[in-house]
């Protein structure tokens, strides 16, 4: 886990308001948006809220592949494989195998989503970099995956890059894991590996021209927090450039350097601290929302052992904030457009809402490994380690609804839906 690198107190300009008869809501002062840079049609699209998340259930990943390689303690670097869907078969899902080996497999998404269903294995656990992981760092971890243009794009980050020496992060290969000799990379993407070498997603078509590219790549909250982002990060890039341009251009829309964290990193709050994990993002078509999926500690912040910090879930010495929740951070794309146009800086953007995925865990552990969004089906896949066996939870994102279920009275502020969780 990441150590405490810098001790600082930073004031987050956030007001907390209790509204009788409603859940806890935190209002965040909206950022000014220059009307001249806002595209008329996408600007009228709705924002996603918690009411748009419908939990369909969960299914199990296989225990091992055909060669006996375990998928236990895996579930990271999820990616939907739309090319895996043919007549009579379901869409595929690339999924990380046991974390010790940093390999990817492919499973078939079951037609019935329930715990009695175990996904069929399509492709065995494979080193998709063909032995090149160590070219990234001496402690390489798969950070994310994305199927784009018929290729599998994979990002890799150095787990403990204390000297901030990592420069290259992204690979590209065939979606056929048995094919060899076609891997390209690692390639440099952007200027700072620690903020791009993780989760990826495509940008919905109506926003690609305005934001300057077809996809996003990001990273957050990994060890050595000063070299990554202290809050969700996302940069626009073109996956087609991996292996064809070096470095691959990447334009940051969100990035919270440690001197400008999303929230104080060593304090109890609802947005960010050193227990936060971000494992995926989604850009739902027909909306103006960018969603980040992760885990967050909402209890009193403490640095020490689990016993010292009254944390029954995590025993290690490090940051604790029990209980932990599965959480969504929702951002308005109009704010990201303001960053692209130079009206705001990447760390000035605040989420318009956060909410908890209470269907996944109600006991305070909230284990999480990866998340991937299928824009064609409107489904979000999130992996949870249940014991040592990955479970894949499935949410359907319905039509977007108005941004606040409980409207604040004429104050022009955004609302954050935060249902209270009993300790």
What distance in Å separates the CA atoms of residue 315 and residue 32, rounded to the nearest whole number? 44
| Among 153, 87, 142, 96, CA closest to 123 | 96
pLDDT for the residue 212: 97
Mean of pLDDT values over 174-184: 96
User: Which percentage of the chain shows pLDDT scores above 90?
Assistant: 77
Q: How far is CA 177 from CA 124, 180, 280, in A?
A: 8, 8, 22
pLDDT tens by residue, 369-391? 999 999 999 999 999 986 677 89
User: Domain boundaries in the chain?
Assistant: 45-400
Provide mean pLDDT across the span 81-104. Answer: 82
Respond yes or no on whether the N-terminal peptide bond of residue 247 is cis (omega within 30° of 0). yes
Residue-wise pLDDT tens digits, 15-73:
332 222 223 334 344 455 554 555 666 889 999 999 999 999 999 999 999 999 999 99
What would the DSSP string read from start to end of 158-206?
A: ETT-TT------EEEEES-TT--S--EEEE-BSS-GGGTSS-EEEPPHH
Specify whether the CB–CB gap between 368 and 297 falls below 8 A: no
Mean pLDDT of 70-90: 80
Give the lowest-confidence range in 147-156, 164-173, 176-185, 394-403: 394-403
> Using alpha carbons only, what angle is made at residue 407 by residues 402 and 408, rounded to the nearest 5 degrees?
140
Output the CA angle 123-98-230, nearest 5 degrees. 110
- Token pair for residue 195? 């903020």
Strand order in the sheet with 14-17: 14-17, 24-28, 414-418
CA distances from 70 to 94, 123, 154, 180 (A): 15, 13, 20, 22
Q: In the chain, count of helices (H) and strands (E)?
A: 3, 25
What are the Cα distances from residue 367, in Å, to 39, 223, 301? Answer: 39, 17, 18
Residue 84 has pLDDT above 80, yes or no: no
pLDDT at 419: 37
How far from the centroid of its chain's Cα atoms is residue 22's Cα? 28
What is the C-alpha separation between 239 and 200, in angstroms, rounded? 10
* Predicted model pTM: 0.86
- pLDDT tens for each residue of 263-302: 999 999 999 999 999 999 999 999 999 999 999 999 999 9
Average pLDDT, the chain: 86
316-374, pLDDT tens digit by residue?
999 999 999 999 999 999 999 999 999 999 999 999 999 999 999 867 899 999 999 99
CATH classification code of 45-400: 2.115.10
d(CA 37, CA 365): 43
SS3 155: strand
**Can you read off the two tokens belonging to residue 237?**
């890039």
Q: How confident is the model at residue 422 (pLDDT cuts 50, 70, 90)?
A: very low
Torsion sign over Cα 266, 267, 268, 272 = negative
């Amino acid at each position: 886990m990441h150590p405490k690198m810098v001790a600082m107190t930073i004031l987050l300009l956030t007001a907390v308001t209790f509204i009788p008869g409603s859940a806890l809501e935190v209002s965040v002062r909206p950022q000014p948006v220059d009307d001249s840079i806002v595209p008329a049609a996408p600007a009228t699209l709705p924002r996603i809220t918690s009411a748009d998340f419908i939990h369909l259930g969960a299914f199990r990943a296989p225990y091992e592949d055909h060669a006996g390689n375990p998928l236990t303690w895996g579930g990271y670097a999820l990616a939907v494989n739309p090319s895996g869907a043919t007549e009579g078969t379901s869409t595929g899902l690339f999924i990380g195998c046991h974390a010790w080996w940093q390999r990817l497999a492919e499973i078939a998404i079951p037609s019935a989503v329930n715990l009695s269903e175990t996904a069929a294995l399509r492709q065995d656990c494979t080193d998709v970099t063909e032995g090149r992981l160590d070219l990234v760092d001496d402690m390489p971890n798969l950070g994310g995956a994305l199927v784009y243009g018929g290729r599998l794009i994979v990002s890799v980050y150095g787990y403990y890059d204390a000297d901030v020496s990592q420069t290259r992060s992204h690979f590209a290969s065939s979606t056929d894991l048995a094919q060899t000799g076609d891997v390209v990379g690692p390639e440099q993407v952007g200027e700072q590996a620690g903020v791009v070498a993780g989760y990826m997603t495509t940008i919905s078509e109506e926003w690609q021209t305005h934001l300057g590219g077809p996809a996003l790549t990001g990273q957050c909250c990994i060890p050595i927090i000063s070299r990554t982002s202290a809050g969700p990060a996302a940069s626009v890039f073109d996956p087609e450039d991996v292996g064809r341009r070096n470095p691959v251009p990447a334009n940051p829309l969100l990035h919270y350097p440690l001197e400008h964290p999303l929230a104080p990193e060593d304090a109890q709050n609802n947005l960010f601290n050193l227990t936060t994990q971000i494992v995926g993002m989604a850009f739902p078509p027909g909306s103006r929302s960018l969603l980040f999926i992760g885990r967050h500690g909402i209890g009193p912040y403490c640095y020490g052992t689990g016993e010292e910090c009254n944390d029954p879930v995590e025993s290690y010495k490090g940051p604790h904030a029990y209980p932990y929740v599965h959480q969504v951070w929702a951002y308005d794309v109009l704010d990201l457009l303001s960053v692209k146009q130079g009206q705001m800086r990447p760390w000035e953007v605040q989420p318009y809402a956060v909410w908890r995925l209470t269907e996944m865990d109600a006991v305070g552990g909230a284990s999480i490994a990866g998340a991937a969004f299928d824009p064609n089906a409107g489904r979000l896949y999130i992996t949870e380690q249940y014991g040592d066996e990955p479970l894949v939870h499935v949410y359907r994102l319905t039509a977007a609804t108005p941004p606040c279920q409980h409207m604040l009275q004429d104050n022009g502020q955004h609302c954050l839906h935060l249902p209270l969780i009993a300790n």
